[in-house]
Structures are given as structure tokens and as C-alpha cells.
Amino acid sequence: MKMNLRKIAMGLGLCIALVACSKEEETIVVPVTVSTLTVNDLAADTVTGLGTDGRPQSAGTTTYYSLVDNKVIASTDAATTKWDIAFSSTKILVNSGTSGPGLGGAFVFKGLFDDLKTIPADSSFAIDNSTAASYAIPLGSGRAWYTYDGLTTLVSPIAGRILVIKTANGKYAKIEILNYYKGGVTLASTASVNDKLFKQRYYTFRYAYQPNGSKVF
């Protein structure tokens, strides 16, 4: 009788173990779908006129943007973590260092947007430091995302330059600047002075944000 009870107990234990293993094998991890979104004509300290020195004048404003929520954030929230990236003329800020209290950072990836499927493990994210005139996304023609032609006075995005962003909440996104002019159309070198002046500083860009905290897009 004792032997039979022992055999029954062993059999029940084996069944439980098999059921547990079966349940573990059936566990499916559902990946987070990463969508690519496009933002059109985002105004970034647009030109109001010409100064006495002949240079474009503006109000000196900054446009704050949330990659998480895909929307403009009020400038009154500049000192918060509600925004991830900000635009003022050709300058692009991230919510980090002297620009904001977030966990942000950035670096420039040289390659195609669609080919950047995983952020390299050895990547280093810089932060903004306006005191040292140093920014995560470097300023100046040819240094990050654009070139400036002094003859035509046109700003052109550099193909194959992707901004890899660490957001204010410590997650990741990739951005490709597509255009700098209103309507998303690059002006011809023969465009009028007024068009070159007043149609600039309107960003069109696409981006992908990974909400699960991984570096995979």
C-alpha cells in the first residue's frame, strides 16, 4: 500500500513538472512595434526680418518637442522633463546638461536611417554644455546634420547623418532631418531673397522612438 502511494505521489509530481515546463515553453514575448513618424514644418525661431548688418533677425525662441508624445511642448515647461529635443534655427538641443534636467544625450550616426536597427553597444551619448559652447549635437556647417552654402545662403541636410537621441526619460530614438524649409521643399539657388529668408527654419524630420527602453528599432 505504501509503495502504491509513493508511486502515485511520484506520478503526480512528474505531471506537475511537465505541466509547468509546458507553460514555460508556451510563454510568448511580444515585441514592441516601433513606428516611424514624420513631423512637418516645425517652426524653429523663424526669421522676422533683416538687421542693419544684413543678417536674419528673429525673436530668439526655442521650440520644445516631445518624441514620446509626438507634440510641441510649451516653452513654460523648458525646465521640465516633458520635452526631449528642442530647435532654434540650426541649433538642436537635447534635454540634458545645461539645456534641461532630463536624462538626455545624443550622438551623430553616419549611415542610413533604415539601416540603424540597433544602437551600437559602444556608443557614447554626449550632453549639452552651453557654458563650454559644447552641445551633444555639434553646431556648425558640416559638423552634424547640415551644410551651409555661403554663395546660395541655403541650408541642406546631409544625407546619411542620423541623430541618435537618448530621451528625457532615458529611452532611445533616432531622427533624420529631411528639410529645413517651409513645405518640405529645398529652395533652388535662384530663389528670391524673401523666400530664402522667410521660408527657412521650418523642420521636416522623421523619427522612430523605442518605448521599451531597448536600443533596438
pTM: 0.84
Task: Answer for the pair 204, 41: CB distance below 8 angstroms, yes or no.
Answer: yes
Work out the number of other CB atoms within 10 angstroms of the CB of residue 30: 5
How does strand 85-88 pair with strand 91-94?
antiparallel
In a domain, 52, yes or no: yes
Instruction: Find the domain containing 49 and state its range.
Output: 32-210
Please state the domain count of the chain: 1
Task: Answer for the pair 128, 176: CB distance below 8 angstroms, yes or no.
Answer: no
In a domain, 18, yes or no: no
Please write the tens of the pLDDT for every residue from 4-55: 545 444 554 544 444 444 445 555 545 567 999 999 999 999 999 988 888 8
In a domain, 19, yes or no: no
How does strand 85-88 pair with strand 63-66?
antiparallel
Please write the tens of the pLDDT for every residue from 69-87: 999 999 999 999 999 999 9
Please write the tens of the pLDDT for every residue from 84-117: 999 999 999 999 999 999 999 999 999 999 999 9
Q: DSSP letters along 73-122, please?
A: E-GGGTTSSS-SEEEETTEEEESSTTT-SSS-EEEEEES-TTT--B--TT
pLDDT of residue 17: 46
In a domain, 3, yes or no: no
Task: Answer for the pair 37, 81: CB distance below 8 angstroms, yes or no.
Answer: no
In a domain, 104, yes or no: yes
Q: How far apart are CA 134 and CA 94, in angstroms?
A: 12
Could you give the 3-state DSSP secondary structure of residue 41? strand
In a domain, 10, yes or no: no
Helix (H) or strand (E) holding 5, with range, is: helix 2-26
Task: Answer for the pair 179, 185: CB distance below 8 angstroms, yes or no.
Answer: yes
Work out the number of other CB atoms within 10 angstroms of the CB of residue 24: 8
In a domain, 23, yes or no: no
In a domain, 136, yes or no: yes
